[in-house]
Amino acid sequence: MNFKVNEQGFYGDFGGAFIPEMLYHNVNELKENYLQIIESDDFQTEFKDLLKEYVGRPTPLYFAKRLSEKYNTNIFLKREDLNHTGAHKINNTIGQILLAKRMNKKRIIAETGAGQHGVATATVCALMNLECIIYMGEVDIKRQAPNVARMKMLGAEVRAATSGSKTLKDATNEAIRDWIANPVDTYYLIGSVVGPHPYPDMVARFQSIISEEMKSQLIEKTGRNYPDKVIACVGGGSNAAGAFYHYLDNDKVELIAVEADGLGVKTDKTAATTQVGSEGIIHGSKTLLMQNSEGQITEPHSISAGLDYPGVGPLHAHLFKSGRGSFIGATDKEALTAAYQLTKLEGIIPALESSHALAALNKIELKQTENIVINLSGRGDKDMETYIGEMSNL
Amino acid sequence: MNRIDKTFKDNKNILNVYLTAGYPNLNDTVEIVQELAKNGVDMVEIGMPFSDPLADGPTIQNSSQIAIKNGITLAIIFNQIQEIRKTVNIPIILMGYYNQILQFGSDAFFEKSKAVGVDGFIIPDLSLDIYEKEHQQKVEELELDMIFLITPQTSDQRIKLIDSKSSGFLYVVSSFAITGSKSSIHQSQIDYFKRINNLKLNNPKLIGFGISDKKTFDTACIHAEGAIIGSAFIKALQQSKNIKQTVKEFINSVKSGESSVTSTDNS
Ligand SMILES: Cc1ncc(COP(=O)(O)O)c(C=O)c1O
């Protein structure tokens, strides 16, 4: 089984570029150039240097002793929360901004859900002195206020997406429409492994630094360069893609993707795409998505804005369909409980998104001898209002 | 000769008007098309409302959302077209997004379209290569037309390729834009129309996006066989109290410039 993208931009049955002709030139320009640019020595040197000096990589692979005792196994946390700006998102924005610069683009647009990708994009735009416009759903602007303020302080313009469900899906639509209207000077800096080819592959490559570091860190800590299980949450799927990347072909590693069940997969308030979705086209990619029998894309629900998306990237659709990945879900409540637990046991407040990955510990079989890596994709600062509000309900 | 080819052969300055099925009310579709035909519109493009229409501006997005709330479905649209075909003989083009067609089942979709009297399709997010691989044979077998878009960024070489795969006509997107964005035509656009004309393409061309009134329609007709009006008409319907009157006034305003209807299109 092949888990790398093919020439046509497909992972198995999924992927491709289903885009209006208005985007053909731009997407094709990117497709023709991205590999050559990002594989060049010059690019890699600048990319690696910024990841080290600016982002603070490598991020620790922390052995969570008390959490491990609680579950009677060996749990390592890949500390993406310690990255500059507080999540894995900046690995990708550093990569894409260097690419945009080499393609002589002057204006950067992006979509954001939780605001983490928006902040990471605004940050690299400030660093590179480029104009930055962030599309964000009106609903998300309300529930992630601190990140909206951060983006503005960084010099970005935040535009509210007021169509549809007013969340990440709609912010993505608006960003794509902006790109259609401004195709010459504008670079669309996508925040996850979604969208038309080559975005899913490109974003996965930039995030693959996560599992690249895991390999050497695991050797040091366990004597083996791979764990028994890697657990990551999946919104669009970029942190999971990065954490899985170097283990895709290693069958000894179980890849566990955790989706947001919301209020539960039996309700209509869920974002568990692989459980309730079906094959179709969203944001230029053939993948799994939540839709009704008419092919209208339905509104997802998750307490976590970063997972509140009705699709998954084509790589994940392929991992799901082929059985290579195990897909499970965590409800809003289970994620909250896992967040409070990690905070108490380890003194780490995780992002709500990452809390879904932590909640998986209660749902899978764990052996005493196993090594488990949980990708702690982000920190909880942006979610403090939700955490404080929910504390009384515990 | 099919209805689209015949229309291009017989008529000049083709006026193609876009409407969203199921808008403003679920069952208005039939009457709107009947009135458009009565008032001399040469062809209609019926939009199949989609939740996430990437190529559409706020006006058409909004009409689609309302139509979906009204309960529009592909089955209802096909019934409406069947009803329309009892009295109307101008070409009918279905415009929509690829996901809707995949969920319906693409072969079933094309067959049903043919059966009710549809003549062609505009599916902006269906790429040329996927069309070739998976649908061209079926569409040609049914003698239906697949209409592709070209834009100011489309290279001459690609325009020729698109021309060779298209039938019916080419949809010339007037500018870098989603629907309903501009209200006048600039010199750079005219240069682009001239560049296309110099390519001596097989298919006739209709200019769309930003055509909203007599002035922009007339300009488009100098550089192509006609034009497509969408958002401006949807805006007229938004404010309509009486469909017959709205359609009549709107079409008059485009054809003769005389009307009280304002049709500026700055969404
Ligand atoms: C901390 C964190 N984790 C995960 C995600 C989900 O994105 P992805 O599935 O692309 O990793 C987000 C998105 O905003 C996030 O902020």
CATH 3.90.550.10 correct for A56-86+209-393: no
- Catalytic residue status for B141: no
Per-residue H/E/C for chain A: CCCCCCCCCEECCEECCCCCHHHHHHHHHHHHHHHHHHCCHHHHHHHHHHHHHHHCCCCCEEECHHHHHHHCCEEEEEEHHHCHHHECHHHHHHHHHHHHHHCCCCEEEEEECCCHHHHHHHHHHHHHCCEEEEEEEHHHHHHCHHHHHHHHHCCCEEEEECCCCCCHHHHHHHHHHHHHHCCCCEEECCCCCCCCCCHHHHHHHHHCHHHHHHHHHHHHHHCCCCCCEEEEECCCCHHHHHHHHHHCCCCCCEEEEEEEEECCCCCCCCCCHHHHCEEEEECCEEEEECECCCCCECCCCCCCHHHCCCECCHHHHHHHHHCCEEEEEEEHHHHHHHHHHHHHHHCCCECHHHHHHHHHHHCCCCCCCCEEEEEECEECHHHHHHHHHHHCCC
Separation between Cα atoms, residue B182 and residue A11, nearest integer Å: 39
pLDDT at A143: 81
Task: Give distance in angstroms: CA of A234 to centre of ligand 1.
Answer: 7
pLDDT at A392: 81
Q: Which domain holds residue B243?
A: 3-258
- List A residues 151-190 in contact with B (Cβ-Cβ < 8 A): 163-164, 169, 173, 176-177, 180-184
Is B263 among the domain residues? Answer: no
pLDDT at B183: 64
**B252 falls in which pLDDT band (50, 70, 90)?**
very high
pLDDT at B167: 95
Q: Hey, what CATH class is A18-50+89-203 in?
A: alpha beta
Residues of chain A contacting B51 with CB distance shorter than 8 Å: 164, 296-298
- Interface contact flag, B162 A284, Cβ < 8 Å: no
List the structure tokens of A306: 């970063």
Is B79 among the domain residues? Answer: yes
pLDDT reading at B263 higher than 60: no
Is B264 among the domain residues? Answer: no
Q: What percent of chain B shows pLDDT beyond 70?
A: 94
Separation between Cα atoms, residue B234 and residue B240, nearest integer Å: 10
pLDDT at A165: 81
Interface check A22 vs B, CB under 8 A: yes
**B182 falls in which pLDDT band (50, 70, 90)?**
low
Is B165 among the domain residues? Answer: yes
pLDDT at B180: 66
List the structure tokens of B159: 């325009």
Separation between Cα atoms, residue B69 and residue B35, nearest integer Å: 24
Question: pLDDT of chain A along its 394 residues, tens only?
Answer: 899 999 999 999 999 999 999 999 999 999 999 999 999 999 999 999 999 999 999 999 999 999 999 999 999 999 999 999 999 999 999 999 999 999 999 999 999 998 999 999 999 999 999 999 999 999 999 888 899 999 999 999 999 999 888 889 999 999 999 999 999 999 999 999 999 999 999 999 999 999 999 999 999 999 999 999 999 999 999 999 999 999 999 999 999 999 999 999 999 999 999 999 999 999 999 999 999 999 999 999 999 999 999 999 999 999 999 999 999 999 999 999 999 999 999 999 999 999 999 999 999 999 999 999 999 999 999 999 999 999 887 6
Interface check A347 vs B, CB under 8 A: no
Number of domains into which chain B is organized:
1
Name the residue among B249, B186, B229, B202 with its Cα closest to residue B14.
B229
Length reported for chain B: 267
**B262 falls in which pLDDT band (50, 70, 90)?**
very low
Q: What is the pTM of this model?
A: 0.95
Q: Determine which residue's CA is closest to atom 14 belonging to ligand 1.
A: A306
For the domain that residue B236 is a member of, what is the CATH number? 3.20.20.70
Separation between Cα atoms, residue B265 and residue B257, nearest integer Å: 15
Residue extents of the structural domains in chain A: 18-50+89-203, 56-86+209-393
Count interface pairs A-B at CB distance under 8 A: 108
Is B78 among the domain residues? Answer: yes
The reply to whether A56-86+209-393 shares the fold of A18-50+89-203 is yes
